Structure 1
């Protein structure tokens, strides 16, 4: 059901995709879909969680093994690991995030979901920039919150989409650009 919903959301957009269309694509009764998820918004939220994680395991981003590894690394490697992981996440989730971003203008509940997603990304980035601050690696005059703000802008799915989908970069080229940008901008 989630796969069918993801296909339809990215093909048609959130508003144009109905619960009945999802059920038909998934080859299940509409009642089954409603019983499992209740609402189209719940399906979209579940899809976002699954795509960000890359699996169905109920493990928060900050509890994933790569995060502990990155936080323990020297500053440049910390940023490179963060960017590489972000590139992997964006490769999976960017089309769905574009669905959410586009639908947010017309649907207050989806606008709330979009704002929650931005807040979650900032929270994760603040952990990384906090680790850089604790290592005394941030450039003078830059605190962890401002560094997280800057990382949020550089690592945004909008930038990823612009450079990979519209400008033809591959994920590795985007990751190289983003890592170099963050290293120059954030570190001493």
Structure 2
């Protein structure tokens, strides 16, 4: 006589719950890092804000620096997919645009949306970098990644033959205007809309880089 049939364990619900916990933890961490400061935010604070146990945070992200790194990646990409920014469809579409004036204008719109997600967190990391080693390392990584990305944008712009400046100057202009400082000053402090800011940034790039 055969024994009772064992039900196959379905882990899909558990996996979805784990993904939801990660999303809530990342959202809570981003908000607390921005409003309270990275240095003053603890794993317990993040857990309480996300409605999970501290052990859940540690299990998902190991430690606070790893949590900061992942929160930044999600803010940059706009979602939790592990797809590098330069490989995302919107960015590839920018590179595919043959008219550089149109490309820079569209890039200004794209960058403004990115600043909406990242500028406050970037400022929080910058503020903590002087006294926190992990924040300083994260800030250096952010700047390195952005410089690499703007260097690639500049190379692609030069390849069109439409630049009025040297390729390295183009990269420096893009790099210096995409760290969130301008967005924060004009949108957050002076009350500009994102639409006004992106239109201005596009004109700035076109006039500076195309002549």
Q: TM-score range by the shorter chain?
A: over 0.9
Q: Does structure 1 conserve the Cα–Cα contact (< 8 Å) formed by 2:119 and 2:179?
A: no
SS in 1 for 2:125: helix
Name the larger-Rg structure. 2
Name the structure 1 match of 2:153: 128
Name the structure 1 match of 2:79: 55
Name the structure 1 match of 2:115: 90
Tell me, yes or no, if structure 1 residue 106 matches structure 2 residue 92.
no
| C-alpha distance in structure 1 between counterparts of 2:140 and 2:169, whole Å | 18
Tell me, yes or no, if structure 1 residue 9 matches structure 2 residue 9.
no
Q: TM-score, normalised on structure 2?
A: 0.84
| C-alpha distance in structure 1 between counterparts of 2:27 and 2:44, whole Å | 15
Name the structure 2 match of 1:148: 171
RMSD over aligned Cα, in angstroms?
1.2
Which one of 20, 23, 39 corresponds to residue 44 of structure 2? 20
| C-alpha distance in structure 2 between counterparts of 1:31 and 1:72, whole Å | 45
| C-alpha distance in structure 1 between counterparts of 2:80 and 2:59, whole Å | 19
Name the structure 2 match of 1:115: 140
| C-alpha distance in structure 2 between counterparts of 1:170 and 1:150, whole Å | 22
Tell me, yes or no, if structure 1 residue 173 matches structure 2 residue 208.
no
Number of residue equivalences: 186
Structure 1 alignment gaps of length 5 or more: none
Q: TM-score, normalised on structure 1?
A: 0.94
| C-alpha distance in structure 2 between counterparts of 1:55 and 1:101, whole Å | 23
Q: Deviations over 1:97-151 (max 9, x none)?
A: 1111111111122112111111211211122211111111111xx3222211111
SS in 1 for 2:207: helix
Structure 2 alignment gaps of length 5 or more: 1-24
Q: 1:13 Cα shift?
A: 0.6
Tell me, yes or no, if structure 1 residue 71 matches structure 2 residue 71.
no
Name the structure 1 match of 2:182: 159
| C-alpha distance in structure 1 between counterparts of 2:45 and 2:92, whole Å | 41
Q: Does structure 2 conserve the Cα–Cα contact (< 8 Å) formed by 1:104 and 1:114?
A: yes
Tell me, yes or no, if structure 1 residue 80 matches structure 2 residue 109.
no
Which aligned runs of 4 or more in structure 1 are off by greater than 3 angstroms? none
